[in-house]
Structure 1
C-alpha cells in the first residue's frame, strides 16, 4: 500500500508523528508537513522533523511548497491519504477546491481520482462553516474522522487514548492492528 500522510498546522501534530511511527514498515509513506505544522511541533513538543524519521526507510518527506512532487500527480498512484491533524484552514481549502500547496494539491488529486481520503479535523468547538465544509467533503466521499475517544476500551493513560484513536484510523485505512481493546 502507498499512503500519503499530510500534517497540517492544528494542535496535536505529535499524534501524527505517533501514527507514522506505528505504521507497518511494508507500507510506503509519503509525508508532507505544512509550515504551520512544523511550528506547532516545535511549540508543543520541542521537536524538529529531521530528528524524527532518520531511521525510517519506507518514508519520503516532502515540503508543502513542493507543488511538483510525485504525489501532486494523478498518474503517480497513491492508494490512500489521511490529513492528520487537519486544520480548519486546510479543511476550508479542501472543501473549496483550492490547491495552492502540496497538501491541498495531493488532496485534490486523490479526490479527482476517487481514491480513499480521511480527514481528521482537530479543532474545538466546531463552527458552522467547519461543519458545512465537513458535510460537503463527506458528500464527496471523504471520510471525516476527528480524534474522538471511545470509552468502551478502558483507556487508563494518554498513550491508551492515543492508541485508541490511531487504531480507529488504522481500521479505516484497513491496516491490521491491536492498538486498542475492541468491543466484545
Structure 2
C-alpha cells in the first residue's frame, strides 16, 4: 500500500503530522512531499522539528523534482492526500497546473482516477477559493475541510486530530480505530 502525502503552506501542520504518524502505525508506505511554503509555516506553528515530519515519510521527494516516481501515472498508488492544502495548491489542482511535484502528482492522481483528497484549512472561503473547490471536485477530488465533528466527544487536541485523520483514511478504505464513530441514537 503506497499513498502520496503532500504538505503545503496552509496552516495546519499538526494535521499532517498526525496523519503521517497514523499511516506509519498502519504500515502504509508514504511518498511525502513538503512544499517550501509548508516548511516556512512549520517553523511558526510546528512544536515538533521539521525533521520529525520528514522522518515519517517512507520516501521523501523534493517538490521541485518533476521526474520523481509519483509524477507518472504508471507508478501505482492508493491515491493522494494534500494536508493542509493551501489555496494556491487548490488553484493549481483546479486548473490542472503541474509546476511542482505536489501539483503534478495531484494531476496524475486525477488522471488515473485514483482518490485525491484535498484538506483546506483556511476560513472563511473567498469566492475564488470556493470556485476552485468546485472545479477540483468536478475533476474528481474530494474536498475535505479540516472541520472536526464533535459527536465523537473529543477530550483532547489529539482526539480532534484523530477525527480528521480518520475521515481522511476513510477516503482510501483504511481504518485506524482512533475515532468513536456515530452509531445512531
- Fold in common (TM above 0.5): yes
Task: Say whether residues 1:181 and 2:177 are aligned partners.
Answer: no
Query: How far off its partner does 1:113 sit?
Result: 1.2
Superposition deviation, residue 142 in structure 1 = 0.9
**Partner residue, 2:112:** 113
Aligned to 1:93: 92
Q: Residues 112 and 52 of structure 1: is their aligned pair in 2 closer, same or farther, counting only changes over 3 Å?
A: closer
CA distance in 2, matches of 1:171, 1:134: 20
Q: Name the CA shift for 1:83/1:48 in 2 (closer, same or farther; >3 Å).
A: same
Asked if the contact 1:3/1:29 (under 8 Å) is kept, the reply is yes
2:29 is matched with: 28
d(CA) in 2 for partners of 1:51, 1:176: 24
| CA shift in 2, pair 1:46/1:39, >3 Å | farther
- Give the TM-score normalised by structure 2: 0.93
| Deviation (angstroms), 1:53 | 4.7
User: Is 1:83 equivalent to 2:46 in the alignment?
Assistant: no
Q: What is aligned with 2:132? A: 133
Q: CA deviation at 1:153?
A: 0.6
For residue 61 of structure 1, give the secondary structure of its aligned residue in structure 2.
strand
1:45: which partner in 2? 46
Point out the structure with the larger strand share: 1
CA separation of 1:100/1:150 partners in 2, compared to 1, >3 Å: closer, same or farther?
A: same
Alpha carbons of structure 1 residues 86 and 138: separation in structure 2 relative to 1, 3 Å: same
User: Structure 1: any 5+ residue segments left out of the alignment?
Assistant: none
Q: Which residue of 2 aligns with 1:152?
A: 151
Equivalent residue, structure 2, for 1:8: 8
Moved more, 24-33 or 100-109: 24-33
Cα-Cα RMSD: 1.5
SS in 1 for 2:66: coil
Kept in 2: contact 1:6–1:82 (CA 8 A): yes
Shift of residue 64, structure 1, vs aligned partner: 0.6
How many angstroms apart in 1 are the aligned matches of 2:135 and 2:160? 29
CA-to-aligned-CA distance 1:34-92 (integer Å, 9 cap, x gap):
000011111112544324454x5x71001111111110111111221001100000001
Number of aligned residues? 182
